Amino acid sequence: MMRRLHSLRRLSGSALLLALCAGLPAAHAAEPTGRAANNGAKAAPAAQKTTPAPKGEQFVDGIAAVVDKDVITLRELRDASIRISTELKSRGIQVPDDQTLQHQVLQRLIMERVQRHEADRLGIRVDDAQVDQAIQTIAARNKISVAQLRGEIEKSGTNWDTYRKSLRDEIRTDRLRQRAVDSTIVISDTEVDAFLKDQRRNPAFGAAPQAQQQPQPQAQPEPAPEQAAAPSGPMLYALAQILVRVPEGSTPEQLAVLRKKAEDILARAKRGDDFASLAAASSDGPEALQGGVMGVRPLDGWPDLFVKAIGNLQKGQVSNLIQSGNGFHIIKVMDRGTAQPAPGRTARTPAPTPAPQPAARPQAPAQQGPTKVMQTRARHILIKTSTVMSDETARQRLEQVRQRLVSGGAKFEDMARQYSQDATAPQGGELGWLNPGETVPPFEAAMNALKPGEISPPIQSPFGWHLIEVEERREHDATDDLARMKARQILFERRAQPAFEDWLEQLRAQAYVDNRLEKQQKIQQNNR
């Protein structure tokens, strides 16, 4: 169903954006500001000698690793290690020893290559105009100009070009996730019914974070303007994790060794060792070099396993060991508090995302009573991009289809059955009745600009290129629809990030990776 276009996004990976917009205490805002920088900030000149070049740089002509047909050089690894070492120091995180740091950095570079190759294979491109649009959106949601946003970014020590590059990478990763994972997650009506039943039986279930007691605010030297207002948004949790990954097919003996490793790390975290330093040195999670910081979300936006583990934890506390299909997790509550919800597609978006946002849609009311919305009944034709179907080719093909439709030479439903690559093609592209906020912003904006009977020009979304036909509109009591959509979103959010991480692991396992630096280090150890 095309309702997989639902705008059920996780937060942007850029923790600098979280600091600007999450609305949590400023003391926490400083915690995750490294993410944007970690994606490529230039090292300060004083840090040029922080990390020496790897021993044996002459090994295999300076190749650290080969990913498919792409090469990661030792120089690239060294430069990234210097940069990240500087960032860790600037955030007060103990830098691991050289070999551990290089291992962590190389794993990150390998995963970045794997994701980039998959995005290229799927024809996912992010141009300068899309980055500019994302920056304008971020600035608007923070109620500042682009120039002021740039000033804030550079004040934090991040080069503006580096920030743009990190944002481009995040948009590409987000679109990759939408294309590869989001459409595979199906929340059944039965699951929604069960969730709503539990919520009615136990009001603390699902939306309860808003009703929990708010921690006492700490003194803040320069609170953001948004923080001056009385908090009225959902309870937000800033979490960090240490992951000890258990490879698929591990033997019981290997599992026992990894469990012991996780227990030892947990013991150190419980006794007060710096969590961020432990994560940087020991975590197998993708956010290890950010001190394990995963971001800020409402409680019900985190996976079920995390929700159960942290529900009763206060700021600064660490969970017990959590076992999942990926391995053993240790979670720390970095901060928790309420915030004014930022405008966006849904009432549950506490921080900006790279994609453009429409005006805020009506939120589900807290009081009993009908909620009237304008619904749109529409159909569409989708053509996905790939290495053999460029953006321009897809757009031109849809433009030709549109000319046939406008001239009366074909029917929309027939063209959808023939050309559309969406699951709705057999139904003539029929999407049914759509509520505000139910589709991604570019799609919704184009749809809202049409009158009944009109056909849009080709428009682009994270899923590809679309033609949209609006069939009719109606005012509808959407009280029940919105409650169900909110429940569906909560259930989706709980599954989406773990599903994406699983998919990335599968993608990594399928890629050809020759870690030559690791081989060299093993040879050196054996010769000692």
Asked if pLDDT for residue 442 goes beyond 50, the answer is yes
Which burial class, exposed, middle or buried, applies to 384 when counting CB atoms under 10 A from its CB (0-12, 13-18, 19+)? Answer: middle
Model confidence at 367, pLDDT cuts 50, 70, 90, reads very low
Helix axes 516-526, 98-121, angle to 10 degrees: 150
User: Phi/psi at 91 (nearest 5 deg)?
Assistant: -100, 10
Asked if pLDDT for residue 370 goes beyond 60, the answer is yes
pLDDT computed for residue 463 by the predictor: 86
pLDDT computed for residue 203 by the predictor: 55
User: Among 2-11, 230-239, 278-287, where is mean pLDDT lowest?
Assistant: 2-11
**Distance (Å, rounded) from C-alpha 292 to C-alpha 38?**
12
Check: pTM over 0.85? Answer yes or no. Answer: no
**Distance (Å, rounded) from C-alpha 219 to C-alpha 475?**
47
pLDDT in tens, 421-435: 998 999 999 999 998
CA-based max dimension of the chain: 79
Across all residues in the chain, what is the average pLDDT?
77
Give the mean pLDDT of 232-252. Answer: 85
pLDDT computed for residue 162 by the predictor: 82
pLDDT in tens, 39-88: 333 333 333 334 444 444 444 458 999 999 899 999 999 988 998 998 89
pLDDT computed for residue 512 by the predictor: 92
pLDDT computed for residue 226 by the predictor: 35
pLDDT in tens, 210-229: 333 333 333 333 333 333 33
User: Among 13-27, 200-214, 439-453, where is mean pLDDT lowest?
Assistant: 13-27
pLDDT in tens, 146-164: 999 999 888 877 789 888 9
Model confidence at 110, pLDDT cuts 50, 70, 90, reads very high
Quick one: DSSP state of residue 71?
A: E
pLDDT computed for residue 387 by the predictor: 79
pLDDT in tens, 345-357: 222 223 333 333 3
pLDDT computed for residue 368 by the predictor: 52
**Distance (Å, rounded) from C-alpha 37 to C-alpha 115?**
19
Asked if pLDDT for residue 24 goes beyond 60, the answer is no
Of the two residues 437 and 39, the one the predictor is more confident about is 437
DSSP codes, 36-60: HHHTTPPPPGGGTTSSPPPTTTTGG
Asked if pLDDT for residue 413 goes beyond 90, the answer is yes
Pairing state between β 430-434 and 63-67: unpaired
pLDDT computed for residue 429 by the predictor: 94
Q: Which residues are bridge partners to 73 per DSSP?
A: 63
